[in-house]
Structure 1
């Protein structure tokens, strides 16, 4: 039996968690808090993949813990410090957190509840101790989570990869139009779809790591490319369904060849819309088909032209990145 192990690695989130726990416990110990090691637990619970998630986690856990203290006062102080009361409290506590959408804070609030149960006396000293403990634990998590490594380089890499894939797809379409045969497996289509999903997820993560930013230029870019990919997937069956080669085929092939050489992030799609209009004019100027098969082929090619017009309009509506490329189009 062969066992497969993941390569051993230490990520930045692991390092932040380790640092946060050490700092939180040290601060709690320095402040001479009871249950000071719990500050480390509270910190662990609030270390999240993004800044916004960390803030939401800290807020949710802080509010849940305050509600937990109130429940502890009602059930422990008001009735009894008995194990049965812990069970009753939890039965009533969890539905309230779910209703208020603070259910993520249950574990941290449970830590505070157990401290109170262990002390058997919810006086002002213990209340102050728990509040400071929460501030130290949640606050430390927020501070260490404010550092997030830049993912700009990775997003840019995804952008270039997608542009190269689109260029490759157009080249394969051109080969098929000109030679009527191809050994292309369509792998680039599947790769582009998977890459777009990864790229959008990463771009969304970047949005979550900026407190005041609510959008990301890369996210909009990958969304635009996703819409274009749907168009490419629609024209492929039309290309492969061509019954015969007609004169108009070369017009479409030449246009797609030109476009394949200028798939970039800049926004000068209007130039290629103009070129496509010229293709339509030349298309209309060619002789009418003299057979049913040629008529079908012309109809399919005209639909391809219409789809490519939509492809370019999608790009034209996108603001685009700053680029030195003067011929950026697709």
Structure 2
């Protein structure tokens, strides 16, 4: 059984229902309770979706009024005419890409059908109902929660997980510790999925904004995580521990201590170049196992350079810290 909870959208739906019915009743509109249906159908999870919902329902309802007037006044108010009209009405909405407004438009069409007398008063009444219903939905849906704290919490979680992953890699390189189960990899992927979804919602809540800094950040971390997943086998399958391991371990330890949302990746790429130079100065492998171990470590270094290159393309979140 799911946990009982009341979210923002539920609260807005209830408030919108109360307001739309009260306003429609105040102005003595016929079918005033239908204003609530029009409002409920337009309550969405984001401002952009709400605007689009209102747009599709206005267009669909106006087309419905036109269809209703032509069909009923020409052929009469009977079920057969209603059915044939709906048969033609739905493809029209689909062709105009406003099929989402079908239910709202049917509400208006059924008012016309039930009155069975299309007059200017009825037309004005339906337009007023649309104004109240859709307008109330827009007003109520303009309030959206602030996701900044949640997004920041996700950022902290992701960085802690990356820090933990790099620390485990360092422990393995230094001590040959194979007790790590890799659960942080799965946790990081799950957190990034949730974080990107929330960041995208935040974009949808800003009418003129096309991207969110946090969304770009989490997308960047997701690409880095793919590299981490790819390089782990190169480390965990080392046939022997060679001298170069210490160089890589020192670098990974420093990197783990300096994960943050800013953009100073160039500093660590320079450090990685130094690691490569030191790597090249060390003695050549004495046997096949040493050769395989050194080759894996060098591939690991190259992959870490790509990891940092991805971070270097990111402008950085506005948080004053020094780090990767």
Q: Which category describes the TM-score, using the shorter chain as reference length?
A: over 0.9
Query: Within 2, Cα distance between the matches of 1:8 and 1:223?
Result: 32
Report the Cα offset of residue 323 of structure 1.
Answer: 2.0
Shifted more, 245-254 versus 177-186: the winner is 177-186
User: Does residue 60 of structure 2 align to residue 28 of structure 1?
Assistant: no
Q: How far is 1:180 from its partner?
A: 2.0
Structure 1 CA distance for aligned equivalents of residues 302 and 101 of structure 2: 53
| RMSD, aligned CA | 0.9
The DSSP-based 3-state class of the residue aligned with 2:4 is coil
Measured after TM superposition, the shift of residue 181 of structure 1 is 3.1
Distance apart, 1:9 and its partner CA: 2.0
Distance in 1 between residues matched to 2:117 and 2:254, nearest whole Å: 79
Q: Which residue number in structure 2 is paired with residue 218 of structure 1?
A: 214
Q: State which of 133, 139, 157 in structure 1 corresponds to 2:135.
A: 139
- The aligned residue for residue 48 of structure 2 is 52
Describe the SS at the equivalent of 2:3.
Answer: coil
Q: Partners of 1:64 and 1:49 in 2: how far apart?
A: 21
Task: Give the Cα separation in 2 of the matches to 1:181 and 1:12.
Answer: 47
Aligned equivalent of 1:314: 310
Aligned residue in 1 for 2:92:
96
Alignment match, 2:248: 252
Q: What are the within-5 Å matches in structure 2 for residues 189-204 of structure 1?
A: 189-204=185-200
The answer to whether the aligner puts 1:297 opposite 2:301 as a matched pair is: no
Whether 1:64 aligns to 2:96 is: no
Correspondence 1:205 to 2:192: no
Q: Aligned partners of 2:201, 2:276: CA distance in 1, in Å? A: 43
Deviations 1:96-139 (A, max 9, x none): 11121111100000000000000101111101110111011000
Alpha-carbon separation, structure 2, partners of 1:202 and 1:322: 19
**2:74, 2:82 → 1: CA distance?**
13
In 2: Cα distance, 1:66 partner to 1:322 partner: 47
Q: TM-score, normalised by structure 1?
A: 0.97
Rounded Cα–Cα distance in structure 2 between residues aligned with 1:144 and 1:280? 59
User: How many corresponding residue pairs?
Assistant: 324
Q: What is the rounded CA distance, in whole Å, between the counterparts of 1:322 and 1:206 in structure 2?
A: 17
Query: Any idea what SS the aligned residue of 1:246 has?
Result: coil
**Is 1:182 matched up with 2:187?**
no
Paired residue for 2:70, among 71, 74, 81? 74
Per-residue deviation, 1:7 = 2.6
Distance 2:75 2:51 in 1: 35
Distance apart, 1:160 and its partner CA: 0.3
- Give every structure 1 segment of 4 or more consecutive aligned residues whose post-TM-superposition deviation is greater than 6 Å: none
Deviations 1:188-245 (A, max 9, x none): 0001111111100000000000011111000000000001001101110111121111
Query: Any stretches of 5+ residues in structure 1 without a counterpart?
Result: none
The whole-number CA distance in structure 2 between the counterparts of 1:67 and 1:137 is: 17
Match for residue 10 of structure 1 among 6, 19, 26? 6
State how far apart, in whole Å, the 2-side matches of 1:292 and 1:9 are: 62
Q: Distance in 1 between matches of 2:278 and 2:123?
A: 82
| 2:151 pairs with one of 137, 144, 155 | 155
Distance 1:10 1:295 in 2: 61
Return the alpha-carbon distance in structure 2 between the equivalents of residues 229 and 58 of structure 1.
40
**Counterparts of 1:287 and 1:99, CA distance in 2:** 71
Q: Which moved more, 1:224-233 or 1:316-325?
A: 316-325
